[in-house]
Amino acid sequence: MTFTRSAIPDVIIIEPKVHGDERGYFVETFRHDKFENFLGYKVNFCQDNESRSHHGVLRGLHYQLAPYAQSKLVRVIDGRVLDVAVDIRVGSPTFGKYVSVELNGKNKKQMFVPRGFAHGFVVLSETCTFTYKVDNYYAPECDRGISFNDSNLGIDWQITSELLHLSVKDTKQPKLEDTLDLFEYGRNYYA
Ligand SMILES: Cc1cn([C@H]2C[C@H](O)[C@@H](COP(=O)(O)OP(=O)(O)O[C@H]3O[C@H](C)C(=O)[C@H](O)[C@H]3O)O2)c(=O)[nH]c1=O
C-alpha cells in the first residue's frame, strides 16, 4: 500500500497492493495503522457509504459544515470515475484550487479528502459502484454544496456537459464566491 501527497499536499492518493491469482484477486483496502502513520494525525472513520451510478452521473461538489465536517476516504469497487477535491479552507494558500484523479475498479486507487474540502465525482464508465468512509455522521442540516461548473474553479470533468446527469439539488448549487456559509464554515473550521 503506497501513499502519495497530491498537488494539494493534504489530499492523499493511496494505492493498495492487489494480489491476483487464478481465482481472482485480494486487496487490503484499508489499514488504520499505515493510514495514520502516513497522515501523522488520528482519523476515526465512523460511517461507510456506497452509491451506484450510471455513465455521466456527477455527484457533488459537497461538504458538511462544522461541527459535522467530514474527511472522506473514497474508492471505486467497479467502474471508473474522475474524483475531485476542492480546497475550501478559508485562508488556505490553495483556497479554490482542486485535485482530480481517476479512481477505478482495476487500479483500486483511493483518495483521502480531508475536512475543509468539497468533494465530487463523475462516472466515466457505463456504471460505477462507489464506496467511502467518513469520519463524521451524515448531518443533512449541515449538508452544503458548490456548483460543479463554477467558472472560478475551472474543473475539467473530462466529459461533455450534454452527457452529465445531476440531482436537482446539484443543478442549483452556488458558486464558491457566493457561499456565505463557507466563511462561517471557515471560522468554525479553524475554531
Ligand atoms: C450523503 C448521505 C445521503 N443520505 C441520503 C440522503 C438522500 O435521501 C440520499 C441521496 O443523498 P445525496 O443526493 O446527497 O447523495 P450524493 O449526491 O451521493 O451525496 C454524496 O455525494 C458526494 C460525492 C459526497 O462526497 C458526499 O458524501 C455526499 O454528499 O441518501 C444518507 O442517508 N446518508 C448520507 O450520508
132, three cell numbers: 467511502
Residue 132 bears catalytic tag:
yes
| Ligand 1 binding pocket includes 60 (Cβ within 6 Å) | yes
The phi and psi torsions of 34 (rounded to 5 degrees) equal -65, -40
Rg (the chain; Cα; Å):
16
pLDDT tens digit sequence for 80-99: 999 999 999 988 899 999 99
ipTM over 0.95: yes
Q: Whose CA is nearest to atom 34 of ligand 1?
A: 138
pLDDT tens digit sequence for 38-83: 999 999 999 999 999 999 999 999 999 989 999 999 999 999 999 9
| Ligand 1 binding pocket includes 62 (Cβ within 6 Å) | yes
The pick from 49, 52, 61 for probing ligand 1's pocket by mutation, whose C-beta has the most ligand atoms within 8 angstroms, reads 49
- Residue 90 confidence (pLDDT): 85
Are 90 and 160 in contact, with CB atoms under 8 Å apart? no
* Beta bridge partners of residue 85, listed in sequence order: 99, 119
CATH 2.60.120.10 fits 44-184, yes or no: yes
pLDDT tens digit sequence for 97-145: 999 999 999 989 999 999 999 999 999 999 999 999 999 999 999 999 9
Ligand 1 centre distance from Cα of residue 15 (Å): 25
Which H or E run includes 48? strand 47-54
| Ligand 1 binding pocket includes 52 (Cβ within 6 Å) | no
Are 90 and 182 in contact, with CB atoms under 8 Å apart? yes
Q: Residue 39: CB partners within 8 Å, gap ≥ 6?
A: 12, 112
Give the whole-angstrom CA distance, residue 52 versus residue 95.
30
Residue 165 bears catalytic tag:
no
Give the whole-angstrom CA distance, residue 128 versus residue 165.
14
Q: Which of 143, 146, 59 is nearest to 96 (CA)?
A: 146
Give the whole-angstrom CA distance, residue 91 versus residue 116.
11
- Residue 75 DSSP SS3: strand
